[in-house]
Amino acid sequence: MGRPELALRRALAIAAALVACSATPSAAKPTGAGFELGRAHVGPGVVYFDGERQASVRFSFDAERRVDLVIRVVRTANERVVRRYERGGLAPGKLHRMRWDGRRGDRGVPGDGRYAFLIGPRGHRGARAGGFAFHDHRFPVAGPHTYGDRFGEPRSGGRVHEGQDLPAACGTKLVAARGGRVAATGYSDALYGYYVVIDGLATERDYFYAHLQAPTPLTRGDAVRTGQRIGEVGKTGNARSEFCQLHFELWPDGYHHAGPIDPIGALREWDSFS
């Protein structure tokens, strides 16, 4: 065999090898397997952190075979991913469900805003399944109300008002502004009447509710959800000669540590969407 023929055969062998390599897909590369999001439902429309109902998505999809899917929770204002889940080997044509517990990947609590679920195979951005509003607090008076005495107003004996009064009809339901655990309950005839203190979940804050109509149904150590009933508006303690109201205090470093802060800004914000 002459040198020209040998060179030609070598060239043909190399070309065949290159064709074979290009025709063989790499198993390491992600594949959508023809993924297409089908029916999808997201609910509820408004979600509160640590509330009694979590954000959830129900969905189905079409694909050529079982697929590993990535489900992302994103803030719609900037498409930033706040939580990422992976579900392996999901079957096409079936109904699947996923819940979000309201926390970021680092276990912190994201800010208020609009969020959405994105669903798709690994290596793909994902298809939008639906959105919802998320809030980390809820207004504590679940009914018609007004705003009364402000934080810092002078009181007898050289005291100052350490909270915000929220007048409302006696018997109006009160709910936890933030979930957590009950730190204290009790009765103070001279000042607060029936009261309850809740140690907020995922925050240093404590929340103080006073002048309840009757003892709270909760006891110390009980777990409480955001928006859960904690009692009713009343006029006990030194409010007995005034009007039905909730006296609300916000302690940023825990009850009886440092001191309370003016809660009016937070209350008006929560009131705007609750």
pLDDT over 80 (residue 22)? no
| Mean pLDDT score, 189-196 | 96
The 10s digit of each residue's pLDDT in 118-177 is 999 988 889 999 999 999 999 999 999 999 999 988 887 778 899 999 999 999 999 999
14 or 264, higher pLDDT? 264
257 CA to centre of own chain: 27
| Full strand arrangement of the beta sheet holding 36-43 | 36-43, 55-62, 96-100
- Cα distances from 194 to residues 52, 72, 224, 231, 248, in angstroms, run 25, 44, 18, 10, 12
The SS3 of residue 210 is strand
User: Is there a contact between 197 and 186 (Cβ–Cβ < 8 Å)?
Assistant: no
Q: Which two tokens stand for residue 209?
A: 């509710």
The 10s digit of each residue's pLDDT in 48-92 is 999 999 999 999 999 999 999 999 999 999 999 999 999 999 999
Which residues partner with 67 through β-bridges? Answer: 90
CA 141 – CA 246 distance, rounded (Å): 8
pLDDT over 80 (residue 10)? no
Amino acid code (one letter) for 56: S
What's the whole-number average pLDDT of the chain? 90
Per-residue confidence band for 2, with pLDDT thresholds at 50, 70 and 90: low
Which residue, 182, 162, 166, 155, is CA-closest to 268? 166
Look-up of token digits 């198993």: 27
| Mean pLDDT score, 32-46 | 93
Phi, psi values for residue 84, rounded to 5°:
-130, 130
Domains and CATH numbers, the chain: 36-135 (2.60.40.10), 156-271 (2.70.70.10)
Per-residue confidence band for 257, with pLDDT thresholds at 50, 70 and 90: confident
Classify the C-alpha dihedral 81-103-42-38 as positive or negative.
positive
